[in-house]
Structures are given as C-alpha cells and as structure tokens.
Amino acid sequence: MREERGDRPALNTIALTALAMLAFAANSLLCRLALQQESIDPASFASIRLVSGATALALILRFRAKQPAPRRADWLSAAMLFAYVGFFSFAYLSLSAGTGALILFGAVQLTMFSAGLRAGEAFSPVAWLGFTLAVAGLVYLVSPGIAAPSLTGTVLMAIAGVAWGVYSLRGRSVADPLSATAGNFALATPLSLLLSLLFITQARADAPGIALAIASGAITSGLGYVVWYAALRKLSAMRAATVQLSVPLIAAFGGVALLSETITPRLATASVAILGGIALVLTHKARRPAS
C-alpha cells in the first residue's frame, strides 16, 4: 500500500533514502579525489560521469526482465541533471569544500522547501526544530573550511543546487525510477559531450581520473540516482530536502575511512546535531496538505 505523504516514512523508504545518501557521499569523495588531484579537468569529468552512467543504466535496462513502457522524453529533468553535474564540477575550481557545501545545500533547501510550501506541505514545530538542528550541525561541521567565496564559484554552485532541487522534485512522480533515470542520463549525454567540446583546449585526463569519473557515473551517480528516485516517491519535498543535509557528514566519515582523516570533536558534535535533527524530521508526523 502506498504511503501517504504526510505520514512517517516506512522502513523501506528510510532504507532507500539512507542508501541514496551513501551513494551521494561516495560520489562527493570521488569528485573530490579526481578534481583536487588534478587527474582530470571538470568538463571531461562531467562528460565521462554522464556517459558511463548512461551506459551502465542502458545495459541494466536491456537485461531487465520487465521491459519499460514507452515514455515521453523528459528534457527538463535531463537538462537539470546536466546542469547539476556540469556546474558542480566547475564550481569547485574556485570554492573550498566547506563553502561549496553550504552554497549547494542552501540552494537545494530553498528550492525544495519553496516547492513544498507552495504545494501545501507543512512541518510541525518539532520537525522545524529538527531541521534547524540539522542545519546548525552542517554549518558547524563545515565552518573551519568556510572562506569568502568567489562570485563565479558562488553563482555556479547555486545554479547546481537549484538544478539538483528541481531534478529531485521531478523524481517524486515517476512510476519507473530505473527507466526514468536511464532516460535522463541518455538525454544529458549529448549536452555533456558538447561541454567537453567547448573546453577541448583545457582537456586533460589520466588513468586514475578516468577511473574515478567512471565509478562516479556508473555506480554512485547512475545507480545512486535510481535509488533516490525510488525513495522520492514516498517522501515529501521538505523531508527529501532535509535528509540531504546528511551527505556532507557521511562524506566526512568517508574521509576518515578512506583518506586517513581523523574523527574530531567537531565531527562528533556535528554528527549528533545533524542525525538527531534529521531523525526528528523523519519520525515526527507531518501535517498534511489542505485538500
């Protein structure tokens, strides 16, 4: 039975959401490794990411027992996917990790919360408290890396955040997450190739950079976005926005596990605030939209 939007999410929805957040955090680490080590340029990374994602999803669709029903091409979702991947990659050329995270997730929150409020969604006072706690935890987590942002980096990351917010909102109505995501990646691929062509004089890519881009596209982006679309079908826009505040935190712990970074008191305190706040949002019953 389909869960109502105003009710607490079912366990399978929470599990899908958690898996999607893990994929997003892993994707963040892969992008960070590739771009910070200058193993690949942003345009090439974005192109390989989308091409490999489209290829992996097309292969999965081909061998899936249930063949997808014909569906109209969703060019708006594809454009939002391309905009997110492209602008995100270029934004980090001039932004620190902490500053970029705040701008990105600020834009995502504003986009998705605005849509939710316009649709009549509402948080209870306890859920608003949880959201505030989670945001405060994120700010505290990334505050040592916050620097005065460049105007170009700020604009690029804000566009990426809005694009991702719109892409997520459109995923709440799809009936077949795998088919929809595969279609979006396929349509975004020509746009990414055009981007690479525009920046061909700046192109560079070594084997590690290409491998990181393929892993990002085929696994943490392609499959991760399928899982996210599946979760979005039973999440309100405001809850879907809130849970994404966990991504920088998960990425930080990924850095501890994979990049030999340390668990600091700041990370521990932020973990309690972010996860506790998200738990309040997910477990407290939301007020239903007016009919």
Q: What is d(CA 153, CA 159) in angstroms, rounded to the nearest whole number?
A: 10
Predicted pLDDT at 169: 94
State yes or no: pLDDT of 282 exceeds 50: yes
- Identify whether the C-beta of residue 160 lies closer than 8 Å to the C-beta of residue 107: yes
Mean pLDDT (the chain) is 85
Cα angle 231, 235, 239 (rounded to 5 degrees) comes to 120
State yes or no: pLDDT of 14 exceeds 60: yes
At 211-265, the pLDDT tens digits run 999 999 999 999 999 999 999 988 888 889 999 988 888 888 877 776 666 778 8
Residue type, 218: A
Q: What percent of the chain has pLDDT over 90?
A: 42
Q: Which long-range contacts (CB under 8 A, 24 or more apart) does 189-194 make?
A: 189/50, 189/51, 189/54, 191/78, 191/79, 191/82, 191/86, 192/46, 192/47, 192/49, 192/50, 192/51, 192/82, 192/85, 192/86, 193/47, 193/51
State yes or no: pLDDT of 4 exceeds 60: no
Tell me what the mean pLDDT of segment 254-283 comes to.
Answer: 81
Predicted pLDDT at 11: 80
Asked if residue 6 is part of any domain, the answer here is no
State yes or no: pLDDT of 79 exceeds 80: yes
State yes or no: pLDDT of 289 exceeds 60: no
Q: Identify the domain containing residue 52 by its residue range.
A: 11-283
Tell me what the mean pLDDT of segment 151-180 comes to.
Answer: 91
Asked if residue 244 is part of any domain, the answer here is yes
Asked if residue 43 is part of any domain, the answer here is yes
Asked if residue 167 is part of any domain, the answer here is yes
Asked if residue 159 is part of any domain, the answer here is yes
Asked if residue 2 is part of any domain, the answer here is no
Predicted pLDDT at 19: 94
Per the structure, the count of domains in the chain is 1
At 118-149, the pLDDT tens digits run 888 877 888 889 999 999 988 888 787 766 67
Position 1 confidence tier, pLDDT thresholds 50, 70, 90: very low
Tell me what the mean pLDDT of segment 140-160 comes to.
Answer: 83
Asked if residue 47 is part of any domain, the answer here is yes
Q: Which tokens is 238 given? A: 């405001």
Residue, of 125 and 98, whose pLDDT is higher: 125
Please, what's the largest Cα pairwise distance for the chain? Answer: 56
Asked if residue 291 is part of any domain, the answer here is no
